[in-house]
Amino acid sequence: MKTTNVAVIGCGYWGPNLIRNFNHISSCNMKICSDLDENRLKRMKQLYPSIETTKNYQDLLSSDDIDVVAIATPVRTHYEIAKNCLNAGKHVMIEKPITSSVAECNELIRLAKEKNKVLMVGHTFEYTASVNKIKEIIESGEIGDILYIASTRVNLGLFQDDINVVWDLAPHDISIMLYLLGKMPVSVNAQGKAHYKRNIEDVAWVSMNFNDGLIAFLHNSWLDPYKIRKMTLVGSKKMLVYNDIETNEKIKIFDKGIKVPPYYDTFAEFHFSYRYGDIYSPRIDEYEPLEKECSHFIDCVQKNETPLSDGYDGLKVVTILEAANDSIKNAGKAIPITLPES
Ligand SMILES: NC(=O)c1ccc[n+]([C@@H]2O[C@H](COP(=O)([O-])OP(=O)(O)OC[C@H]3O[C@@H](n4cnc5c(N)ncnc54)[C@H](O)[C@@H]3O)[C@@H](O)[C@H]2O)c1
């Protein structure tokens, strides 16, 4: 099979991680990278002398040698760059969030279909060992029906210029939750506050409401003294805590819960009983999720398959982000979620 030649656009903070992984994957050839900043290109050349560089990403669009493009530029630029890449006949992987609006994402999905090209979004957490272990635990029925999920993703900075904290941090929480639950919320409420940059909220709370009564809360902040990456899933049988900051024991399962008495005659006889059982941490075979994500993209291109995190997966997340923004601008009003059929 012909080697798949890869181009990476954007060599700021995240792009070099993509370059490192594509460079490591034997089924592809990390051929060229692009950035507007000459210094970033010099740095990439120092790290990977055989890689070509260009300041103008249009150069790689006209090259028949490039099969796939991975985009790690600021969110506001994703749509334009991805559209040009698809029109030039390239398969495209875009960093999260896929675009800065639902309309842009719908257009990329349509274009990828028309050109018969793979469109993937970098929802990295869907490729982690921990999240896949949690999915396995939920599907085994061990924690019972999920009553609610609460996720905290906070730290100090990094303030962004073009997107608020929800668009910056919540794509991770939302993509994890949708992947774990396999369903979309019916409405979203959110509140947020911009303290330092006008109209760019630096702290926010989002709730996603599902039609079976399940509720999922997200707290995102660039203004917090702690770096926290924690998700609690409260089930009808057990409770699970996923702490991504932990190096070992990222997942803990608590055999804790509440039992309502089956019958009682008087109010005095009514007592919940609380169960304080064992706590255990399942074994997880760790690997680098980004390598899994990048090789999955190359695999899908070579086998003409649909990626796990395809354009439609990106659309679901952007739909919720857009609703959250709408709700923030409308004092926390519930915004109904509607999604076109895939
Ligand atoms: N999956 C993850 O865990 C993860 C983590 C961090 C960032 N990201 C995503 O990666 C993307 C980039 O984020 P970042 O933190 O690396 O941003 P960054 O600002 O550090 O880097 C972006 C780079 O893109 C370059 N750029 C901008 N426009 C360009 C153009 N037209 N052509 C070529 N280069 C251009 C800039 O010069 C800059 O070097 C965002 O979508 C972000 O959400 C994902």
CATH 3.30.360.10 in the chain is located at: 126-287+320-336
- DSSP class per residue in 225-254: EEEEEEEEEEESS-EEEEETT-SS--EEEE
Of ligand 1's atoms, which has the minimum distance to the CA of residue 94? 41
Q: Is the dihedral of CA 45, 4, 84, 127 positive or negative?
A: negative
Would you state the pLDDT for residue 266?
A: 78
pLDDT at residue 260 is higher than 90: no
Q: Could you report the per-residue pLDDT of 96-153, keeping only the tens digit for each?
A: 999 999 999 999 999 999 999 999 999 999 999 999 999 999 999 999 999 999 999 9
Would you state the pLDDT for residue 261?
A: 75
Place of tokens 């090259």: 63
Q: Are 36 and 12 in contact (CB under 8 A)?
A: no
Of ligand 1's atoms, which has the minimum distance to the CA of residue 75? 41
CATH 3.40.50.720 in the chain is located at: 4-124+289-309
Quickly list H helices, 143-288: 165-181
Would you state the pLDDT for residue 342?
A: 61
The residues lining ligand 1, judged by C-beta closer than 6 Å to any ligand atom, are: 9-15, 34-37, 40, 57, 72-75, 77, 95-96, 122, 124
CATH class, domain 4-124+289-309, is: alpha beta
Q: Could you report the per-residue pLDDT of 286-314, keeping only the tens digit for each?
A: 999 999 999 999 999 999 999 999 999 99
pTM, two decimal places? 0.96
Q: How many other C-beta atoms can be found within 10 angstroms of the C-beta atom of residue 125?
A: 25
Would you state the pLDDT for residue 274?
A: 87
Cα(151) to centroid of ligand 1, in Å? 25
Cα(274) to centroid of ligand 1, in Å? 48
Q: Are 179 and 317 in contact (CB under 8 A)?
A: no
Q: At the topology level of CATH, where does 126-287+320-336 sit?
A: Dihydrodipicolinate Reductase; domain 2 (3.30.360)
